[in-house]
Amino acid sequence: MIEVKNEQELERMRAAGKVTAAVLKQMTELVKPGISTLELDKAAEKTIRSFGATPLFLGYYGFPGSICASVNEEVVHGIPKKDRILKSGDIISIDTGARLDGFCSDAAITLGVGKVSEEAQKLMDVTKKSLYKAIGQIKPGRRLGDAQHAVETFAMQHNMGVVRDYCGHGIGRNMHEEPNIPNFGKPGTGPILEAGMTLAIEPMLTAGTYKVRELDDGWTVVTLDGSYAAHFEHTIAVTANGSEILTAFE
């Protein structure tokens, strides 16, 4: 069952979305060669708390950071570390979220560090565009499978792997609510969308195999073949006329 939010609840989600958007904008300014992923994490936490919000990820099932900082072949859930220093040519996926006034927001971006390869840039571009392809399918009366299919189709057109073990989700009072939203699916299937539904859509694509594994730290997920991965995510509200991106910052 997908919860439908009323206008007052959506306003609170918009406020939470602005916090996460501010963090991601900050990350675009901070990511550069020589910075550690722990420095990024500390900056993100400070920004989240400056809004009177709390970091959504910090302490979640024991996760130690306010951001997931996943570098190169790391797909998701990378743990921020003091000794993980970014260098030119890396790409980093930063996933973060905030809780404010009882409601949550969740979003992610992948950024290039210094000068990156053409292959890495293409991966980031395709992943970001696949997110917006999915968002374009979000409107009342459409099926959620239409958005899932949009990601898969666009990714496959560009020979990217579509990670299958992790997916998007509903969001609201909790970070993870119904439904699960895989980045693949058949058009015309899945729940019918209604105004007031709020969803976190998050394509995770790879430059090689879609297969992944979890490292011994119990969190970090990497590609099985060591190929680079990219991750983009927005919290979306279904509106009467289409959709609204609650975590937009560009």
% the chain with pLDDT above 70: 100
Distance CA 232, CA 248 (A): 12
* The dihedral sign for the CA sequence 21, 25, 26, 28: positive
Distance CA 166, CA 178 (A): 14
pLDDT in tens, 178-224: 999 999 999 999 999 999 999 999 999 999 999 999 999 999 999 99
pTM over 0.95: yes
Distance CA 44, CA 19 (A): 10
Tokens representing 172 are 């609201």
Distance CA 37, CA 95 (A): 12
> Does position 57 have pLDDT exceeding 80, yes or no?
yes
Give 225's contacts (C-beta < 8 A, 6+ positions apart): 208, 209, 211
Whole-number pLDDT of residue 249: 94
